[in-house]
Structure 1
Amino acid sequence: MKSPLDSAALNAALEDVHRAGLPGLFAEVRDGDQVWRGAAGVADVATGRPVTADMRHRVGSITKTFTAAAVLQQVESGQIGLDTPIGRYLPKLVPGERGDAITVRMLINHTSGLAEYLPYAYPSLKAFPVAADTRPQSLDDHRHTRFDPAELIEMGVTAPAVGTPGGTPGVYSNTNYLLLAQLLEEVSGTTAELCITRNVIEHAGLRDTGFPAGPYVEGPHSQLYEAWFGMIDPPRDYSVFDMSYAGPSASLISTVTDLNRFFGMLLAGEIVSPSSLAQMQRTVPVVSQEGKTIDYGLGLYPMEGPGQGIFWGHGGTVWGGGALAMTRADGKRQMAVAVNLQRWNGFDSSGKPQPHPIDDALAALYRVAMYR
């Protein structure tokens, strides 16, 4: 049977992203039983060590889909009420009227109105991430800082609200998912990481996915290079970093193969029930950290392609790395991509990120991967 995947075009598109300025990237594309994997560029700019498609990688906020799935499993078992106020579960963390007004659903879909804690934990970032007056100094200051999640949550809860509970558009905030992690701990009697590992990661049979035990990525991996909008030149390696600043909102390590397997199973109703999946696919407008308004569900968001229907998935970034995973609604065509450079766009005179050839090259790769 001839593969519907154009390997030559995919390899060329991957190389084009590398030539546009990305040190290294790797990907897996699936169409039914057909699988293509590819890699281009280097995992270490100093040694020239190449990236390979089986490398483990920090996948950032793709972690949120795993966390949302774990919460919905608890909803199915009756341990959590999706529209129950978070104050009933965590009155000390979200006290008073806000605890009564913010529901579990609002945390998962970012309509709680709770502010992002990162600018308070990393003071030099200010209005993370798109702001010309941010500075990357905090990344070095906190490379090995072990944050207490309750303290991070307090930073977000006590900061000025970014909206009213349930109001739209919502504002994307990691504070929401740190609270969901505490909720999982409250109802499961174990850590959120262990709950997610047992009920989601192991349930899906993901062999190379897990939460980091320390600041290192175990197993074959790439270095992670942060440019911070051109302020770090040359880009600096942040692959060794204490991920307690993100926890179950963005600290997961995975592979492109595991990501495709997970999202394929999720969209097939094999991680959560079909009714829970339907809840995950109910979207509301949310302002992303890049300042764009997107449709966001419960740890999932849609992306529409010309003539190819809707893809569901999630993207994520950490300091120096990023990933994107998308699966067509019918589960047949899938893509997962990992990159080892972040914030390559410089700012223009008005303080807005400028277009970069990497952006166009990645968009071309996505078109070849998902729509050809």
Structure 2
Amino acid sequence: MDGVHLAGMPGVHAEVREGGQVWRGASGVADVRTGRPIRPGMRQRVGSVTKTFTAAAVLQQVEKGRIRLDAPIGRYLPRLVPGERGEEITVRMLLNHTSGIPDYLPCAFPSLKEFPSLPDISPESLDDNRFRKFRPAELVKMGLTAPPTGRPGGPTGVYSNTNYLLLGQLLEEVTGTEAEQYLTRNVIERAGLRHTVFPDGPRIEGPHSRMYEALYGLIEPPRDYSVYHMSWVGPAAALVSTMEDLNRFYGKLLDGKIVSQSSLAQMQRTVPVRALDGTTIDYGLGLHKVSIPGCGTFWGHDGTVWGAGTTSLTRADGKRQMSVAVNLMRWNKLDSSGKPQHHPIDDALSTLYRQAMCGNGNAQAEKASQVPAFGS
């Protein structure tokens, strides 16, 4: 972890578990101006790690017979997804990103271009939307009116936050409860998580780090975005949590205590999906699969919002867990083609992952570098 800090990361904190043993640590600062140290128990905006929580909530409703995985979404949300598209796209396709519905983010933040073609990007839209409260249907409409990324149910998916906003609307339709409230009562509280919440405003309650966004070198020095209204991602990526809570959640999920074992088996049926960073990942229903020779198969998710990155992975047998949080995002500057350049932080994180996931360092370095690094 000290290596990650020395490579240029302001602060990093983590929790690693193996069997009954727990290690927590931190390196660096939570505030570059004051030098306030970062601590391992701090709260973090965990971004798309939220998607596993949302997927688990949908599977709970599948178990109750209120949702069918292979039913068309138009059956539940005919006004949001009308016509032929609503009949072709199933709930499963939303969960595993094979719906062909593009991400709404380039529309909500119009100066943002799809990764990695970012030469025209500017930070103004980040500041303009800092306190804006988006409506989910407004964001969904942006995604649905953009050109499709492929045919529904295609062999390869394309990662899209629009899918999970639709799943939030689906939960509200079948439960009669706001998605964030349902998730809190039936997933967060069921898992016994004490520091995991959907914030109801732009600020994080409790001890936390500032969260610095570099935007590929376009914001220099990086700017703090720890105060930000998370309505722009909602049930797709708005959660605040701790690394302890994330390890507890994934441990219980893989142990069949959040959804049934049959539902978990559905969540672990993967397809290739192109992530936001351009890489291809093995993606199930709200779960990433990461296989490292000499170390094992891990399940979990990564996530990023402005200034904050999180990765949480649990080995398939549940005996080894890693959750890591960093407080600087998009540290790579762009080359002339708009492609992010390699940075020492990338290598330092790979080393940290290898040690945290495998302990003895036996994992192949090039495979450990394939751990999701805040690409979604």
1:334-345 paired onto structure 2 within 5 Å: 334-345=321-332
- Which ranges in structure 1 are unaligned for 5 or more consecutive residues? 1-13
Find the partner of 1:352 among 339, 345, 348: 339
Q: Residue type of the partner of 1:168?
A: P
Secondary structure (helix, strand or coil) at the match of 2:322 reads strand
Q: Which residue of 2 aligns with 1:182?
A: 169
Find the partner of 2:195 among 193, 208, 213: 208
Secondary structure (helix, strand or coil) at the match of 1:123 reads coil
Measure the CA separation in 2 of the matches of 1:269 and 1:163: 34
Comparing 107-116 with 342-351, which one deviates more in the overlay? Answer: 342-351
Measure the CA separation in 2 of the matches of 1:129 and 1:262: 32
Residue pair 1:279, 1:298 contacting (<8 A) in 2 also: yes
Q: Which residue of 2 aligns with 1:235?
A: 222
Displacement of 1:287 in angstroms is 0.5
Q: Which residue of 1 aligns with 2:369?
A: none
Displacement of 1:133 in angstroms is 2.4
Displacement of 1:285 in angstroms is 0.7
Q: Which residue of 2 aligns with 1:56?
A: 43
Q: Which residue of 1 aligns with 2:113?
A: 126
Measure the CA separation in 2 of the matches of 1:116 and 1:102: 15
Residue pair 1:32, 1:333 contacting (<8 A) in 2 also: yes
Secondary structure (helix, strand or coil) at the match of 2:347 reads helix
Measure the CA separation in 2 of the matches of 1:162 and 1:20: 36
1:1-372 paired onto structure 2 within 5 Å: 14-128=1-115, 131-372=118-359
Q: Alignment length, in residue pairs?
A: 359
Q: Residue type of the partner of 1:263?
A: Y
Secondary structure (helix, strand or coil) at the match of 1:316 reads strand
TM-score (norm 2): 0.94
Secondary structure (helix, strand or coil) at the match of 1:370 reads helix
Residue pair 1:115, 1:157 contacting (<8 A) in 2 also: yes
Measure the CA separation in 2 of the matches of 1:304 and 1:179: 30
Give the 4+ runs in structure 1 shifted more than 6 A. none
Measure the CA separation in 1 of the matches of 2:217 and 2:158: 26
Q: Cα deviations across residues 108-141 of structure 1 (Å, max 9, x unaligned)?
A: 0000000110110100112256523222211011
Residue pair 1:120, 1:126 contacting (<8 A) in 2 also: no
- Which ranges in structure 2 are unaligned for 5 or more consecutive residues? 360-376
Provide the identity percentage.
Answer: 69
Secondary structure (helix, strand or coil) at the match of 1:146 reads coil
Secondary structure (helix, strand or coil) at the match of 2:12 reads strand
Displacement of 1:224 in angstroms is 0.3
Alpha-carbon RMSD across the aligned residues, in angstroms, is: 0.8
Displacement of 1:306 in angstroms is 2.5
Return closer, same or farther for 1:300/1:343 CA change in 2, 3 Å cut-off.
Answer: same
Comparing 115-124 with 125-134, which one deviates more in the overlay? Answer: 125-134
Measure the CA separation in 1 of the matches of 2:68 and 2:282: 23
Q: Cα deviations across residues 52-81 of structure 1 (Å, max 9, x unaligned)?
A: 000011000000000000000000000100
Secondary structure (helix, strand or coil) at the match of 2:86 reads helix
Q: Residue type of the partner of 1:143?
A: R
Q: Cα deviations across residues 167-218 of structure 1 (Å, max 9, x unaligned)?
A: 0211000000000000000001110001101110000000000100100010
Residue pair 1:22, 1:340 contacting (<8 A) in 2 also: yes
Q: Residue type of the partner of 1:106?
A: M
Q: Cα deviations across residues 251-289 of structure 1 (Å, max 9, x unaligned)?
A: 000000000000000111111100110000000011000
Return closer, same or farther for 1:288/1:256 CA change in 2, 3 Å cut-off.
Answer: same
TM-score (norm 1): 0.95
Measure the CA separation in 2 of the matches of 1:242 and 1:170: 29
Measure the CA separation in 2 of the matches of 1:354 and 1:42: 25
Return closer, same or farther for 1:143/1:311 CA change in 2, 3 Å cut-off.
Answer: same
Measure the CA separation in 2 of the matches of 1:341 and 1:31: 27
Q: Residue type of the partner of 2:80?
A: L
Q: Which residue of 1 aligns with 2:372?
A: none
Comparing 302-311 with 324-333, which one deviates more in the overlay? Answer: 302-311
